[in-house]
A and B are shown apart, each in its own frame.
Chain A
């Protein structure tokens, strides 16, 4: 079966997941994002690539940062952007997901950026568009359930490459709630595809997926061991609702064992970078001294995220 993200010519037409995407496709997106970074520094922060195209941001689940960066990216490509918070409109009136899609397609949409709590929703939409003869409409997954968040994964890869260059020489540690994290899943797939020397995951047993080793990572339960000599530390957000279940005793206890402090960071390489997909819980997974410290590249991640999304959208819309 053909990769559902690629068209008959093997070109990327949807971005649904980083899993199974060839390294040259990922590399091309990262390369294309480089010149987009400098667009933000110009007088006119716009290029005409998507002029006349209509991009729908379909957020069935709340998000501020991702929606905003997709909106800015599309606007800097000169597209018209429509933001829909579906959670509070059609679905609450009983409309099905695919009926919503058909209606928006009838408004001549060119691209859907989809955030959904259910894993696989963007894939379902792409399949539906293809089956109903609307394969010219592109779909970008902006986060689906626990499955994936490919543009976040790509912007993480872009950030790592920007500061560290060669993946084949790097040890990258991903720390925290890997179990519930689509960000972690996308990043792990991207890192292994690009031949990263060592990908480590660090977390308590209750927050790591069973058989996570099968993704090609080394597992650590003691943070001090896992951070030793690594080049990149990616902290994951600990979602508050996890605390209410039986997965964790308390936020304080979690911070003690898995929170990133300056002291623990000293175990990594002296020039290690610290990343976080946001939004951060200061004092839960990361100490303020680290979040605001010299190793932190958390804010550049946000800036790069716009360039990476511009690259994704302009590659898709041209294929």
Chain B
């Protein structure tokens, strides 16, 4: 298991390199709140071409609602483009169980039928509970089950990865 986390900005650069020549010229970037939303904004500036950015909050689609109830302060999903027939790259900070991504895909389909959905993540920490894999991965990390990797945005806009006790943080 790891002792120190990689620098988020470096990993983001690597993720952008992998996406640069691979994503569709008309791909829309949809970030999952909150970490994925910051990444989508940054990637839109780093990638060549013009990629519209949308945001998705999966609170109303989570599969743990019956167990944990509604999360406080859900954000507003905002997809300022036609989802139907679009090529979409879903973006999240940490890919773990795959449950947030499942929820996000379900929500996208309530806006229309996308042409294609790809997944890009900053960190893939393994531990999948659903058959979901990312097409673009910044870095793969092995982390103890009781730890959470959290992406934070500092006041100067720089991104930072931190390790938290899983009991205090939500599982991604």
Distance A31 CA – B76 CA, assembled complex (angstroms): 10
Task: Give chain B nearest CB distance to A9 CB in angstroms.
Answer: 10
Distance A318 CA – B62 CA, assembled complex (angstroms): 12
In the complex where A38-B78, A47-B61, A49-B65 touch, is A32 in contact with B111 (Cβ < 8 A)?
Answer: no
Q: Map CB proximity to B onto A253-276 as digits: 1 under 8 Å, 0 otherwise.
A: 000000000000000000000000
Distance A32 CA – B69 CA, assembled complex (angstroms): 13
Number of A-B contacts (CB under 8 A): 54
Task: Give chain A nearest CB distance to B150 CB in angstroms.
Answer: 22
Q: Map CB proximity to A onto B18-31 as digits: 1 under 8 Å, 0 otherwise.
A: 00000000000000
In the complex where A35-B60, A43-B112, A47-B61 touch, is A28 in contact with B73 (Cβ < 8 A)?
Answer: yes
Task: Give chain B nearest CB distance to A236 CB in angstroms.
Answer: 32
- CB-CB < 8 A to B148: which residues of A? none
In the complex where A38-B77, A49-B60 touch, is A32 in contact with B110 (Cβ < 8 A)?
Answer: no
Task: Give chain B nearest CB distance to A42 CB in angstroms.
Answer: 6
- CB-CB < 8 A to B70: which residues of A? 32, 49, 314-315, 318
- CB-CB < 8 A to A39: which residues of B? 60
Number of residues of chain A lying within 8 A (CB) of chain B: 20
- CB-CB < 8 A to B72: which residues of A? 28, 31-32
Check B76–A48 contact: CB distance below 8 A.
no
Determine if A34 is an interface residue (Cβ-Cβ < 8 Å): yes
- A interface, over-half SS: helix
- CB-CB < 8 A to B77: which residues of A? 35, 38
Contact of B74 among A32, A42, A46, A48 (CB under 8 A): A32
Check A318–B69 contact: CB distance below 8 A.
yes
In the complex where A31-B72, A314-B70, A318-B69 touch, is A46 in contact with B110 (Cβ < 8 A)?
Answer: yes
Q: A34-B76, A38-B77 are in contact. List 12 more A-B contacts (CB 8 A).
A: A31-B72, A31-B74, A35-B74, A35-B75, A35-B76, A43-B111, A47-B60, A47-B61, A47-B107, A49-B60, A315-B69, A318-B68
Residues of A within 8 A of B (CB): 11, 28, 31-32, 34-35, 37-39, 42-44, 46-49, 314-315, 318-319
| 14 intermolecular pairs with C-beta atoms under 8 Å apart | A28-B72, A32-B74, A34-B76, A35-B57, A37-B76, A42-B111, A43-B84, A43-B112, A44-B109, A44-B110, A47-B61, A48-B61, A314-B60, A319-B69
